[in-house]
């Protein structure tokens, strides 16, 4: 849908998180006198002072807040939905003829530049930021947007034909999307979000929109381990490019593997080839990359122990990658969080074959991980601590980790049962390290 067509439509912005607020700000700037409807499950007092003040000053705003916020849909002509709200939950409220879209959908329909879309269960943010930096170093004008926490619509007026947009796409942003990016990177596919989607098939169908609407002249760079993509090859119109690690032996066993997973690195190399960017420029980008917070982030050395924050690791595969990357110095591992119903057999096997000696288990998935460890090796000599307190976990780490060893937070589970999100979990990890280290230094 073109933005100018919203002018005479009754528009409901459904969900007022980061994307919803960006959508509101964009539409208010485009249509200063237009009546807009905003709807959210939260009440007005749940928003911060800045947002409340913004809403209170807007005389052309209609609110639907609280438990009955979906009643806003009964008179809607266009609904701009936030990614976290299930589409299925809206069926009883949407009248026939209502157009359901999203910030991502509006952006794709109105963006004058070519879009590089990146999805996958893990590694999206690092890959997206590396691609953005690679483009900038190579002289392209690039915008990094999407799930990497830079909402898209606010940037739309800056973007021109000839620019490139690097768009990190979550499954929720992709669900229902009817236009695909010019170049799509599908990095990996693991069990995840099974508290949101009915099964892995529904989860994959959401992600598949990154390539389903591509045409001839577009490109899909994909991991051949994703069988679901190979099974759909007759439906794919774009040029399919497999991520082939063996094609780039010069990048095997290099320091760059601490930057990102090798298969993601090769995806970037294939993209560089498509855009005519030299391999040397890719190497320079990897060398200069500083990394993102909470993604195998080195926190520092405290009392002889190296601490790493990998709070973003919400599936076992991510934690296993972290263990492989950091190697035999990992002595203490902090695991567990919200249990989304995925299996932990892989991580149980990985732990008993690793150098890890001490494991902290957060609820609820922590105990399931312990059971998988003991299934793999009933005589395992790993020392376990079950706790729901980060401070207790870090005291355990200081007590059990030898000088020169590593303590790694890489939970293999989401954070929502104990923390607001993975960022809050990572910050709690860092704060506890500093506080307990200061306390021990003061006693020395």
If phi > 0 it is left, if psi is from -120 to 50 it is alpha, else beta; for residue 304 that is: left
Q: How confident is the model at residue 151 (pLDDT cuts 50, 70, 90)?
A: confident
pLDDT greater than 90 at residue 253: no
pLDDT greater than 90 at residue 276: yes
The pLDDT, as a whole number, for residue 233 is 94
Delineate the domains of the chain, giving CATH numbers in brackets: 6-97 (3.40.50.720), 107-288 (3.40.1190.10), 297-443 (3.90.190.20)
3-state secondary structure 244-288: CHHHCHHHCCCHHHHCCCHHHHHHHHHHHHHHCCCHHHHHHHHHH
pLDDT greater than 90 at residue 87: no
Average pLDDT of the chain, as a whole number:
95
CA 355 distance to own-chain centroid: 29
The pLDDT, as a whole number, for residue 39 is 97
**CB-CB contact of 159 with 113 (8 Å):** yes
Q: How confident is the model at residue 341 (pLDDT cuts 50, 70, 90)?
A: confident
User: pTM for the complete prediction?
Assistant: 0.90
pLDDT greater than 80 at residue 25: yes
Distances from the Cα of 279 to the Cα of 130, 265, 327, angstroms: 14, 11, 27
In whole angstroms, what is the distance from residue 165 CA to residue 136 CA?
A: 11
Strands 99-102 and 78-81, sheet pairing = parallel
In whole angstroms, what is the distance from residue 384 CA to residue 242 CA?
A: 41
pLDDT, one tens digit per residue, over 93-122 is 998 999 999 999 999 999 999 999 999 999
Percentage of residues of the chain with pLDDT beyond 70: 100
pLDDT greater than 80 at residue 194: no
Q: How confident is the model at residue 195 (pLDDT cuts 50, 70, 90)?
A: confident
pLDDT, one tens digit per residue, over 385-442 is 999 999 999 999 999 999 999 999 999 999 999 999 999 999 999 999 999 999 999 9
Task: Specify the range with the lowest mean pLDDT, choosing from 114-118, 189-193, 205-209.
Answer: 189-193
pLDDT greater than 90 at residue 24: yes
pLDDT greater than 90 at residue 91: no
The pLDDT, as a whole number, for residue 255 is 86
Q: Please give the average per-residue pLDDT across 177-196, as a whole number.
A: 92
pLDDT greater than 80 at residue 444: no
The pLDDT, as a whole number, for residue 433 is 98
The pLDDT, as a whole number, for residue 324 is 93
């Amino acid at each position: 849908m073109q933005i100018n067509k919203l002018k005479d439509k009754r528009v409901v912005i459904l969900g007022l998180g980061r994307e919803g607020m960006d959508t509101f700000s964009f539409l208010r700037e485009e249509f200063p006198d237009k009546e807009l409807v905003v709807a959210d499950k939260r009440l007005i007092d749940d928003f911060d002072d800045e947002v409340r003040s913004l809403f209170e000053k807007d005389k052309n705003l209609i609110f639907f807040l609280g438990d009955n916020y979906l009643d806003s849909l009964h008179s809607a002509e266009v609904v701009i939905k936030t990614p976290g709200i299930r589409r299925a939950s809206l069926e009883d409220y949407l009248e026939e003829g209502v157009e359901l879209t999203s910030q991502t959908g509006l952006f794709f329909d109105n963006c004058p530049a070519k879009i590089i879309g990146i999805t996958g269960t893990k590694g999206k943010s690092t890959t997206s930021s590396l691609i953005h930096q690679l483009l900038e170093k190579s002289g392209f004008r690039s915008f990094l947007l999407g799930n990497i926490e830079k909402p898209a619509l606010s940037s739309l007026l800056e973007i021109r034909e000839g620019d490139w947009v690097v768009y990190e796409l979550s499954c929720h942003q992709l669900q229902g999307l009817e236009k695909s990016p010019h170049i799509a990177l599908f990095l990996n596919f693991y069990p995840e979000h099974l508290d949101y989607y009915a099964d892995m098939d529904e989860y994959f169908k959401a992600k598949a929109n990154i390539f389903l609407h591509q045409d001839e002249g577009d490109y899909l760079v994909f991991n051949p381990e994703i069988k679901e993509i190979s099974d759909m090859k007759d439906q794919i119109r774009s040029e399919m490019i497999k991520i082939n690690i063996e094609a780039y032996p010069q990048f095997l066993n290099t320091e760059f593997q601490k930057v990102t997973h090798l298969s993601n690195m090769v995806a970037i190399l294939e993209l560089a080839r498509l855009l005519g960017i030299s391999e040397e420029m890719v190497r320079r980008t990897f060398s200069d990359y500083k990394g993102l917070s909470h993604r195998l982030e080195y926190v520092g050395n405290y009392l002889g122990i190296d601490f790493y924050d990998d709070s973003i690791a919400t599936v076992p595969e991510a934690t296993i990658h972290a263990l492989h990357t950091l190697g035999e110095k990992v002595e203490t591992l902090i695991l567990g969080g919200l249990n989304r119903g995925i299996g932990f057999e892989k991580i149980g096997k990985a732990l008993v074959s690793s150098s890890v000696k001490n494991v902290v288990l957060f609820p609820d998935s922590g105990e399931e991980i312990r059971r998988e460890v003991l299934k793999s090796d009933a005589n395992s000599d790993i020392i376990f601590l079950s706790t729901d307190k980060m401070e207790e976990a870090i005291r355990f780490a200081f007590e059990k980790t030898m000088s020169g060893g590593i303590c790694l937070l890489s939970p293999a589970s989401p954070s929502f049962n104990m923390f607001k999100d993975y960022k809050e979990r990572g910050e709690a990890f860092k704060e506890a390290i500093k506080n307990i280290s200061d306390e021990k230094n003061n006693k020395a």
